[in-house]
């Protein structure tokens, strides 16, 4: 019997759909009834994680805990979070429910190691940079993690918030120029460490060597739930 997957979503809504879609599209099945049981709580009441971390805004933990408890009550047997920055709260969330979590950060870095990359460029929110969620784990795995310059972090935040607002085709020339510069610095892979960024790259057909943490998490969730990935 396969396990039921619960998605803590709403951060933003499109990222939640992207994660569930990647679970569906990457599960090996012969019919609709063979797909995994997935429950998504698209909780748009969760406060902005970056503002909470950088500016002392409302903590995302209480609403995330509500989502986790709703998913557990609905029968979820493993939980995943459709937001990288929200993993700042993961240890506290794990104390709220008796359901295990899979980490998007661990899933992404497992894929980096699988590809054999040793120098990556981290594309993320300023909240994720501040908390060193990826940087600390990269160091433990002997992966060199490049952080963009401040103006490029500003660009990434503009892109991320535009996608959250439904504007998916903004800043393309600036983004391509930034990526070219990162490759010149020696970046072997880009980690799209905000769940809006894989959406942006896909919709705009950006051709760059990337690791998509959303996809990596989807694949690990498929395996954990007891299904076979394509």
CA quadruple 119, 124, 126, 130: dihedral positive or negative? negative
Average pLDDT, stretch 76-81? Answer: 98
Place of tokens 């599209």: 25
Q: Do domains 5-103+215-225 and 105-213 have the same CATH topology?
A: yes
Q: Give the rounded percent of residues in the chain with a pLDDT score beyond 70.
A: 100
| Residues carrying an active site annotation | 83, 194
Q: Which two tokens stand for residue 101?
A: 């979590």
Q: Which two tokens stand for residue 15?
A: 């990222």
Does domain 5-103+215-225 bear CATH number 3.40.50.1860?
A: yes
pLDDT in tens, 6-30: 999 999 999 999 999 999 999 999 9
pLDDT band of residue 134 (cuts 50, 70, 90) is: very high
CA-angle at 134, arms to 131 and 136, nearest 5°: 80
pLDDT value of position 2? 96
3-state secondary structure the chain: CCCCEEEEECCCHHHHHHHHHHHHHCECCCCHHHCCCEEEEECCCCCCHHHHHHHCCCCCHHHHHHHHHHHHHCCCCEEEECCCHHHHHHHHHHCCCCCCECCHHHHHHHHHHHHCCCEEEEECCHHHHHHCHHHHHHHHCCCEEECCCHHHHHHHHHHHHHHHCCCCCCCHHHHHHHHHHHHHCCCCEEEECCCCHHHHHHHCCCCCCEECHHHHHHHHHHHHHCCCEC
Q: Supply the angle between the helices 13-25 and 213-225 in degrees, to the nearest 10.
A: 50
pLDDT band of residue 1 (cuts 50, 70, 90) is: confident
pLDDT band of residue 207 (cuts 50, 70, 90) is: very high
Average pLDDT, stretch 147-173? Answer: 97
Q: Which CATH fold topology does 105-213 show?
A: Rossmann fold (3.40.50)
Q: What are phi and psi of 78, to 5 degrees?
A: -150, 140
Q: Please, are residues 168 and 162 in contact by the beta-carbon 8 Å criterion? A: yes
pLDDT in tens, 81-103: 999 999 999 999 999 999 999 99
pLDDT in tens, 34-61: 999 999 999 999 999 999 999 999 999 9
pLDDT in tens, 181-200: 999 999 999 999 999 999 99
Average pLDDT, stretch 103-120? Answer: 98
Average pLDDT, stretch 145-168? Answer: 97
pLDDT band of residue 217 (cuts 50, 70, 90) is: very high
Task: Write down the domain spans for the chain.
Answer: 5-103+215-225, 105-213
């Amino acid at each position: 019997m396969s396990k039921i997957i619960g998605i803590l979503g709403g951060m933003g809504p499109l990222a939640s759909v992207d994660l569930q879609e990647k679970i569906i599209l990457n599960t090996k099945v012969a019919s609709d009834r063979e797909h995994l049981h997935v429950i998504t709580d698209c909780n748009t009441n969760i406060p902005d994680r970056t503002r909470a971390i950088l500016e002392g805004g409302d903590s995302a933990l209480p609403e995330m805990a509500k989502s986790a408890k709703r998913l557990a009550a609905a029968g979820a047997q493993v939980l995943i979070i459709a937001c990288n920055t929200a993993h700042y709260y993961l240890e506290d969330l794990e104390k709220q429910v008796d359901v295990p979590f899979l980490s998007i950060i661990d899933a992404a870095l497992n894929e980096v190691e699988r590809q054999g990359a040793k120098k990556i460029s981290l594309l993320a929110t300023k909240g994720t940079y501040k908390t060193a969620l990826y940087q600390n784990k990269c160091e433990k795995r002997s992966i060199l993690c490049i952080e963009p310059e401040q103006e490029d972090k500003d660009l990434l935040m503009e892109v991320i918030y535009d996608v959250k607002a439904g504007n998916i085709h903004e800043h393309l020339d600036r983004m391509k120029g930034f990526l070219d510069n990162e490759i010149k610095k020696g970046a072997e892979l880009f980690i799209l460490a905000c769940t809006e960024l894989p959406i942006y790259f896909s919709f705009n057909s950006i051709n760059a060597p990337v690791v998509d943490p959303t996809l990596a998490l989807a694949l690990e969730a498929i395996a954990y739930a007891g299904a076979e990935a394509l």
